[in-house]
Amino acid sequence: MKSYLAAAIQMTSLPDLEKNLVEAEELIELAVRQGAELVGLPENFSFLGTEEDKLAQAEAIAHKSEKFLKTMAQRFQVTILGGGFPVPVSSDKVFNTALLIGPSGNELARYEKVHLFDVNLPDGITYRESSTVKPGIQLPPVYSSEQLGTLGLSVCYDIRFPELYRHLAYKGADILFVPAAFTAYTGKDHWQVLLQARAIENTCYVIAPAQTGIHYAMRQTHGHAMIIDPWGVILADAGETPGVAIAEINPVRLQQVRRQMPCLQHRVFV
């Protein structure tokens, strides 16, 4: 593993597949121009609309999203995470799928989100992700790269389930991806502290691409795409507008923190 720059992209995706892909391409290019070799796109990067509209367009979204990720990775010669897009599994269900693509356009890892966001928030908005999404049944994968380190995948609501990240750490993860479309209501209190907790307790870097702003009707997301180091220090924060958070992933820093705080070696219950 070498030192390199990683980017967490922040978008305001809409119920418009083509427009979203144009915005994503512009932000990927921006990140690459700044030197990023590992780029993460947020959950719902290619489409963020109602559950009904997502289901109706799922086949097209899935096909074009995967093709887009492979094209971008090859064009810019970088590794890209597509943080979540629908892949049909039946006439009324999709998997919320995160896809990691290498510089040659090859698929490196795939994760189907296991924790679905079915919540009645105090602000009066109800979310029922399970109405159209089938939960994955496999623990998230890690992908080991000699150049980039070992990358662990997750998606959004997973951040509230620390056992998932301990699994990734047990599998050797150095970097934890948390692409998200975190609600504005919960994000203001929980987003940053949860990301920092996952970084600290697993002594890993966290790369958290995010959605921001108003997407349709009442759907509003928190923003603040971040990159956090293994000590919990926020290295980059994209704020509340579309853009890119870029920071260095440094193996020397990673090992320094793990020597100072060797908690992964002190686990009693595995």
Sign, CA dihedral 86-126-128-190, equals: positive
- Compute how many other C-beta atoms are within 10 angstroms of the C-beta atom of residue 65: 25
- Catalytic site residues? 43, 113, 156
Which residue carries 């967490």 as its tokens?
Answer: 8
Cβ neighbours of residue 83 closer than 8 Å, sequence gap 6 or more: 40, 41, 42, 43, 44, 45, 98, 155, 177, 179, 180, 209
How far apart CA 270 and CA 183 sit, in angstroms, is 32
Quote the Cα angle for 17-28-46, to 5°. Answer: 20
For residue 254, give both structure tokens: 């990673």
Contact 222, 183 (CB under 8 A): yes
